[in-house]
Every structure is written in structure tokens, then in C-alpha cells.
């Protein structure tokens, strides 16, 4: 029987006020702090030792992941390939990847790397005999597919346009994933050491120019209140590339929201998080104990083709950059198109790390992209575990992984850019790649 040990640590990674905020095609700099930002780490030891970490940032690129893993390995001996590092994708955190008009601050990045590695080392040092449980819950009322197709064929991000009258909407392009997978990590007295969870929704509810981890911290507070504890809650980012919290079919639900600011953002986030945390708690209360769980990890490279910008995109970008008075958002988009063109000429492919982790009856598929929901659901269906968690924006950052349908319909996620650099076939090829690995054992 495998003796299970586990430890957890939550450490602050908030940067100084004034750093650029990530995730928007505009210039935003922090003016304050709504709450701290955290790295949350759990280390689990059975026949293998693994670490899972969530970071309250938009994304973490491959080079940064490699440095964190190396520092953690030097600090506590966990093999680098056994460390999973997931970004929560909050849009109100310091820039940690060069995207759009933002560049990470070098001094902050040095702190970030060492703080996240320190959380892993601290969790390892805190290990003690532990028990694991696993469960599933479901919530289908708080997340919505954001790919909205209007009657004229235009594709918009639902809820982020100034006005989208319901009678102008033709259809919603895709689905949502209501499943919530949970792993409970408990000590021998049945007190939670940590909770690992997985849900598909963009982390962009609070908005504004103040630091906020968005719903992961709100959910953590709710669960700790329910279970009368003080334990880290890791929310692994599900396949949420085309999912957000805004119901465009309900005008009142989006009335206060602009693209980058919602005066009711904290209120909306609190309501969202109460519902999500309640379902997570239900999943934990009904969870099944893991009996002598085995742990296994494998990592390999997946070569995804880069897309080439369409001629129409290049022509548009060329015209935009000739003008002096166009909005900053359009200038940034035009530059991104030419950035992708250059990358496509030089590299042709993006090599993605795909990490498969098994903890007893739970499979975790880790992908370094903003994966569309339909792709995530397909990955879940093929995995042999009783529960599958698809952890996206994990172990790197390679932009959106969209469906072929989305590519042909167009819209923001399908527009040529560094953040939309992968071929429209990448998702389909990833599914085949993972299937082949699982079949090969």
C-alpha cells in the first residue's frame, strides 16, 4: 500500500503598484490592490512525488516555467517534469509574458520565479501523512460561450461590446463545460490541507486597474468558510478559451460591463464564486476516498503548425499602420499580425509541452494554451480515468487553441496575432496526439 504524504503552501506574489497589467489591447497600469495575488502549491508523494501550482497571473511562458522548475528541483528534489504550473489567467495582475503592448518588468520576474519555486519547496517541507479524495460536481448557470454570431455574420465576444441587442444575435457558436472536478487533500484528522479543482471560465470578472486574483481567491474564501479552515484552493484553469461569465442573452447581466471595466465587478465575482464554491463543496462532501493511489507523470513535445495571416489581415494591418490617428487597440492588433507573419516565416511550428499526470483514478491533461471548450471536452472523453481535469495555460503560453469552426467564422480569437498563432488544425491534432499516447500506455 502506497503511503501518501502531502503538503501545501500559499505565498504572496503581488507586484508593486505601477506595473503594467496584462491581457488587454490597451495601456493599463496598476493603481492599487483589491486583494493579494498568490502562488498556491500542493506537493503529493506516493510512489512518485508531484507538485501542482497555480499562479494568479495571466500566463507563464516556457522559459519562466523552466526556471521555476529548476529552482524547485534544487530546493527539494522534485523532478522538473513532475511539476505542473498553471496560470489562473486573471486579467488584473502584473504582465508576466510579452503580449500586446505589455512587457514584463525584469525585477518583478526575478521575484516571481523565486517566490513560486519557494511555494513548491515550502509545500514539500510541510508534507505529512495525508489522505486523498476525488469527486465531481456540475454547474451550468454561471458560464457562457462567449463566441456570439450576429445576424450579419459578425463574431463578437459576448458582453464585451458596447451594446448587443438580443434581436441582433443569430447564434452562440459553441458549448460550455459545466463539470467541476475536485481532489481533496486531507490530513489524518480529516482536516483539509488543500483542495485541487478544475472549472472552465475566463478569469476576468473583477476588471479595472487594481490587482485582483479574480474568482479563484473568492472561491478559496468561500470554501474555507464552509469547512472552517485555512487551506489553499487551487483552481486549475479549464478549457475556457471561448468561455466567460457574461450572459449576452440577458441584457441586465451585461449592462454594467465595458471591455476593461465593470463597476459591479466585485459584486458579480462574489456571486459567481458563491455558486461555484457551493458546487465544489458538494463535490467534496460526496467525494470518494482514493485507495492506495498510484502517481504517474509523462511529458512530451507536441509540434503544432503556426498559421499564416490571411492576405486580408495583412492588407488591413498595412493600412492601419499608415495612419496616425487610429485607436491604440487597432495599432496593437496590426503589429501583432506582422509579428505572426515574421514568426511563421522563421519557425513554422510551435513545440508545446503536453503533460499527462495521473493521481489514482484522476487524469490531468496539461496544455500550454487557451484551449476552446469543445477541444477540452473531447480530451476528457478519451481519458481512461474516472475523472479528467484539463488544465490549460499550464507549463507555458502558446496562445489560443481554437476550433476549425471558429477559424472559418472569424472573430477575436481567430484573428492573426501572437496570441492566436496556432493553426486551426492544432486542436484536432492535439486530440490525436493525446489519444496515441494514452493508447501506447
Per domain, the residue ranges of the chain are 5-298+351-440, 307-346
pLDDT at position 324 is 83
Q: What angle do CA 275, 281, 287 make, to 5 degrees?
A: 140
Answer left, alpha or beta for residue 93, where phi above 0 means left and psi between -120 and 50 means alpha: beta
Predicted local confidence at residue 384, as pLDDT: 92
CA dist 226 and 169 (Å) reads 40
List all residues 6 or more positions away from 364 whose beta carbon is below 8 Å from its beta carbon: 84, 236, 355, 356, 357, 358, 388, 389, 390, 391
Q: Mind listing the pLDDT tens digit for each residue in 130-160? A: 999 999 999 999 999 999 999 999 999 999 8
- Over the stretch 92-117, which tens digit does the pLDDT of each residue have? 999 999 888 788 999 999 999 999 99
pLDDT at 100: 80
> CA geometry: angle at 150 spanning 149 and 156, to 5°?
60
191 pLDDT above the threshold of 80: yes
128-138 and 288-289: which strand pairing? antiparallel
**Is residue 242 pLDDT above 60, yes or no?**
yes
* Site of grid cell 459576448: 158
Q: For the residues 306-325, what does the mean pLDDT come to? A: 90
Q: Which residues are CB-neighbours of 169 under 8 A, at least 6 positions away?
A: 148, 149, 150, 151, 248, 249
Cβ atoms < 10 Å from Cβ of 52: 30
377 Cβ contact partners less than 8 Å away, ≥ 6 residues apart: 175, 177, 239
Residues 393-438 have pLDDT tens digits of 999 999 999 999 999 999 999 988 888 999 999 999 999 999 999 9
**CA separation, residue 255 to residues 157, 215, 263 (Å):** 15, 20, 10
Per residue in 161-187, pLDDT (tens digit) is 767 899 999 999 999 999 999 999 999
Note whether 398 and 428 are within 8 A (CB): no
| Number of C-beta neighbours around residue 115 at 10 A | 17
Q: Closest Cα to residue 95, out of 40, 29, 11, 35?
A: 29
For residue 74, the surrounding DSSP H or E stretch is helix 62-76
Rounded Cα distance, 204 and 195, in Å: 22
**What is the torsion angle, in degrees rounded to the nearest 10, for the CA atoms of residue 374, residue 380, residue 383 and residue 389?**
140
SS3 call for 323: coil
Q: Between residues 255 and 328, which one has the greater pLDDT?
A: 255
Banded model confidence at residue 441, pLDDT cuts 50, 70, 90: low
pLDDT digits (tens, 9 = 90+) for 263-273: 999 999 999 99
Average pLDDT value for residue range 119-129 = 98
DSSP 203-234: S-SS-SSEE---HHHHHHHHHHHHHT----EE
| Per-residue model confidence (pLDDT) at position 302 | 96
281-304 burial, b at 16+ Cβ within 10 Å, e below that, comes to bbbbeebeebeebebebebeebeb
pTM of the model: 0.96
Nearest to 86 by CA among 288, 237, 213, 220: 237
Please compute the mean of the pLDDT values over residues 316-338 and round it to a whole number.
88
- How far, in Å, are 143, 220, 223 from residue 217 at the CA level? 18, 5, 10
- What local confidence, expressed as pLDDT, does residue 51 receive? 98
- Those residues with Cβ within 8 angstroms of residue 96's Cβ, 6 or more apart along the chain or in another chain: 22, 55, 57, 58, 59, 60, 61, 64, 87, 104, 109, 112
Amino acid at each position: 500500500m502506497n503511503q501518501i504524504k502531502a503538503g501545501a503552501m500559499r505565498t504572496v506574489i503581488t507586484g508593486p503598484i505601477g506595473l503594467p497589467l496584462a491581457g488587454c489591447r490597451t495601456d493599463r497600469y496598476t493603481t492599487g490592490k483589491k486583494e493579494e495575488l498568490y502562488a498556491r502549491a500542493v506537493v503529493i508523494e506516493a510512489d512518485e512525488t508531484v507538485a501542482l501550482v497555480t499562479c494568479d497571473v495571466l500566463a507563464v511562458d516556457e522559459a519562466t516555467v523552466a526556471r521555476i522548475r529548476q529552482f524547485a528541483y534544487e530546493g527539494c528534489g522534485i523532478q522538473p517534469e513532475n511539476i505542473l504550473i498553471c496560470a489562473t489567467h486573471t486579467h488584473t495582475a502584473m504582465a508576466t509574458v510579452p503580449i500586446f503592448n505589455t512587457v514584463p518588468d525584469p525585477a518583478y520576474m526575478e521575484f516571481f520565479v523565486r517566490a513560486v519555486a519557494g511555494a513548491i519547496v515550502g509545500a514539500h517541507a510541510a508534507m505529512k501523512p495525508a489522505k486523498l479524495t476525488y469527486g465531481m460536481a456540475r454547474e451550468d448557470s454561471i458560464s457562457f460561450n462567449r463566441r456570439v454570431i450576429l445576424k450579419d455574420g459578425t463574431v463578437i465576444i459576448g458582453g464585451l461590446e458596447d451594446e448587443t441587442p438580443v434581436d441582433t444575435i443569430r447564434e452562440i457558436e459553441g458549448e460550455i463545460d459545466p463539470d467541476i472536478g475536485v481532489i481533496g487533500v486531507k490530513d489524518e484528522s480529516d482536516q483539509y490541507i488543500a483542495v485541487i479543482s478544475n472549472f472552465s471560465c475566463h478569469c476576468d470578472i473583477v476588471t479595472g486597474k487594481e490587482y485582483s486574483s479574480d474568482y479563484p481567491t473568492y472561491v478559496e474564501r468561500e470554501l474555507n468558510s464552509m469547512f472552517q479552515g485555512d487551506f489553499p484552493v487551487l483552481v486549475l484553469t479549464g478549457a475556457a478559451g471561448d468561455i466567460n461569465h457574461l450572459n449576452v442573452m440577458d441584457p441586465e447581466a451585461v449592462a454594467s460591463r465595458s471591455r476593461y471595466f465593470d463597476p459591479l465587478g466585485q459584486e458579480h465575482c462574489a456571486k459567481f464564486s458563491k455558486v461555484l464554491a457551493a458546487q465544489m463543496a458538494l463535490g467534496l462532501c460526496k467525494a470518494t476516498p482514493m485507495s492506495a493511489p498510484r502517481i504517474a507523470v509523462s511529458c512530451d513535445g507536441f509540434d503544432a503548425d503556426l498559421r499564416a495571416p490571411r492576405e486580408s489581415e495583412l492588407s488591413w494591418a498595412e493600412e492601419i499602420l499608415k495612419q496616425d490617428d487610429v485607436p491604440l487597440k487597432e495599432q496593437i492588433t496590426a503589429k501583432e499580425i506582422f509579428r505572426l507573419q515574421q514568426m511563421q516565416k522563421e519557425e513554422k511550428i510551435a513545440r508545446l509541452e503536453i503533460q499527462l499526470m495521473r493521481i489514482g483514478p484522476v487524469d490531468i491533461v496539461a496544455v500550454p494554451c487557451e484551449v476552446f471548450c469543445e477541444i477540452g471536452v473531447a480530451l476528457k472523453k478519451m481519458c481512461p480515468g474516472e475523472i479528467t481535469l484539463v488544465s490549460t495555460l499550464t507549463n507555458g503560453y502558446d496562445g489560443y487553441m481554437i476550433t476549425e469552426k471558429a477559424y472559418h467564422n472569424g472573430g477575436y480569437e481567430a484573428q492573426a496575432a501572437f496570441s492566436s498563432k496556432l493553426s486551426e488544425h492544432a486542436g484536432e491534432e492535439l486530440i490525436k496526439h493525446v489519444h496515441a499516447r494514452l493508447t501506447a500506455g
